[in-house]
Amino acid sequence: MLRRISVNEWIDHQSASLESVHDSVLQIIQDVSSRGDEALLELSRRYDNVALETVQVSEEAIWNAHERVDKEVLQALIDAYERIVMFHKLQRQKEFWLQETDPGILLGVKVTPLERIGIYVPGGKAAYPSTVLMCAAPARVAGVSEICLCTPPGRDGPSPLTLAACAICGITEVYQVGGAQAIAAMAYGTASIARVDKIVGPGNSYVAVAKRIVQEDVAIDFPAGPSEIAIIADESANPAFIAADIIAQSEHDPSAASLLITPSEELACRVDEEIKRQMKDISRKEIILEALMQGGVIISSDLDEAVEIANTIAPEHLSLQVVEAIHKISQIQHAGSIFVGSYAPVACGDYASGTNHVLPTAGNARLYSGLNLSHFTKASTVQIISKEGLMQIQDTVEKIADAEGLHAHANSVRIRFE
């Protein structure tokens, strides 16, 4: 089931999956920005096969969702939320600090939370309450005052699991809108949905492309499309573990992609056999089989080349299942999240270790960090300068300003000493 592929094949596939839907997404965005709620209701009928009277989910439905969720599952969501909050609290910066850099000059930074953010939570083929937790927890820790959430509709409304997770996070503004139309609604606003300052959250190719298009008008976290994993493994790795990780990644959706990078031909064959064995009695089999075709295996000359390949493709998830894996971390330059050792499956980061599972995909880990506290804040620099302090830098400011021909700038300093 694991086909041999090249680095270029992997990269081409990841970019092609986004480019193929660009025109359709642009049309949806233009429709929503011009017709608002009317377009949202029509698009729900067309793409979700659901006839809605309103896109807003009532607060009553949100708070009552827990009654439709297994108590043990509900407690697991609460436990996960607490772990995610704990990890993101470790990322807190001082809200305001000042440091004297010269006599009479105090410089500092004031950190302020964003006022209103929009969260996108996928749906359709599966419910993702964990994504609610991953997006809302850092927003809450950062102090964001307004949070709205969009998720695809179902015949009986959004998934109770998703709504229960909203209740856990204290989110009461929820809309049953999915896909590119949800991104457009949060970016430009409709009669029902007020526009947001920033959109966060993962989604399919349509959602990823929509975020890329609207970022000229609204801030986004980063491109987060179909999920992916790269596994670097040597002959010491357990093929059953690797096969399980590949299958787990593949059950997200048909566009998910898994890549094994190994210098061991024997390991690649054993992993392939394990995938076939584990696939015999498994749910979501059709989705997994289709997703397996998106990835494959690359046989490297050694582990150093395996790391080079991983750095080239900049995967969303990178699993290191090699001898003394911890020593390889320093060589990794580009990865959304790194999972070290045979007992660190990606599922831990997906749900309960506390790190965030909203991560850049399709090579964008080369440019972006995964979702973290800084995505929900902005920083203003502060300078407090006395006359004594201004004297310290007067000559420098005047000379550079005059050299640039901005003499009024220079005069704004010079006049203070006349």
Quick: pLDDT tens for 316-354: 999 999 999 999 999 999 999 999 999 999 999 999 999
Q: Residues of the chain with pLDDT > 90: what percent?
A: 90
Burial of 381 (0-12, 13-18, 19+ CB in 10 A): exposed
Strand partners, 383: 107
227's CB contacts (< 8 A; 6+ apart) are 202, 249, 252, 253, 256, 257, 316, 317, 361
pLDDT at site 157: 87
375's CB contacts (< 8 A; 6+ apart) are 138, 198, 200, 221
pLDDT at site 54: 94
| pLDDT single digits (tens) 381-402 | 999 999 999 999 999 999 999 9
What is d(CA 22, CA 301) in angstroms, rounded to the nearest whole number? 37
pLDDT at site 255: 87
pLDDT at site 324: 93
Are 376 and 138 within 8 A, CB to CB?
A: yes
Are 246 and 223 within 8 A, CB to CB?
A: no
What is d(CA 221, CA 122) in angstroms, rounded to the nearest whole number? 16
Model confidence at 408, in pLDDT bands (50, 70, 90)?
A: very high
Average pLDDT over residues 161-185: 97
The predicted model scores a pTM of 0.93
What is d(CA 351, CA 129) in angstroms, rounded to the nearest whole number? 9
Number of residues that make up the chain: 418
From the list 280, 299, 288, 207, the residue with the least C-alpha distance to 249 is 288
pLDDT at site 20: 83
Please check the confidence at residue 281 and state whether its pLDDT lies above 90.
no
What is d(CA 136, CA 119) in angstroms, rounded to the nearest whole number? 8
| pLDDT single digits (tens) 229-273 | 999 999 999 999 999 999 999 998 888 999 999 999 999 999 999
* HSE toward the beta carbon, residue 376, CA cutoff 13 A: 29
Please check the confidence at residue 13 and state whether its pLDDT lies above 90.
no
Query: Can you say whether residue 104 is alpha, beta or left, with left for phi > 0 and alpha for psi between -120 and 50 degrees?
Result: left
pLDDT at site 123: 87
Copy the structure tokens of residue 58. 């009532």
From the list 88, 181, 189, 78, the residue with the least C-alpha distance to 143 is 88
Strand partners, 232: 261, 320
Model confidence at 12, in pLDDT bands (50, 70, 90)?
A: confident
CA angle 141, 147, 149 (to 5 degrees): 120
pLDDT at site 382: 98
What is d(CA 128, CA 342) in angstroms, rounded to the nearest whole number? 25
Type and span of the H or E element at 230: strand 228-233
Identify which has the larger pLDDT, 157 or 211. Answer: 211
Residues serving a catalytic function are 316-317
What is d(CA 332, CA 288) in angstroms, rounded to the nearest whole number? 28
pLDDT at site 11: 87
Q: Longest Cα pair distance anywhere in the chain, in angstroms?
A: 86
Strand partners, 176: 151
Beta strands per DSSP E along 291-346: 296-299, 317-321, 337-340
Please check the confidence at residue 15 and state whether its pLDDT lies above 80.
no
pLDDT at site 140: 98
Are 264 and 235 within 8 A, CB to CB?
A: yes
pLDDT at site 1: 76
Copy the structure tokens of residue 88. 């993101």
What is d(CA 411, CA 148) in angstroms, rounded to the nearest whole number? 48
Are 4 and 298 within 8 A, CB to CB?
A: yes
pLDDT at site 18: 75
Q: What phi, psi does 29 have (nearest 5°)? A: -60, -45
Model confidence at 19, in pLDDT bands (50, 70, 90)?
A: confident
From the list 163, 207, 165, 160, the residue with the least C-alpha distance to 182 is 207
pLDDT at site 154: 85
* Mean pLDDT score across all residues of the chain: 95
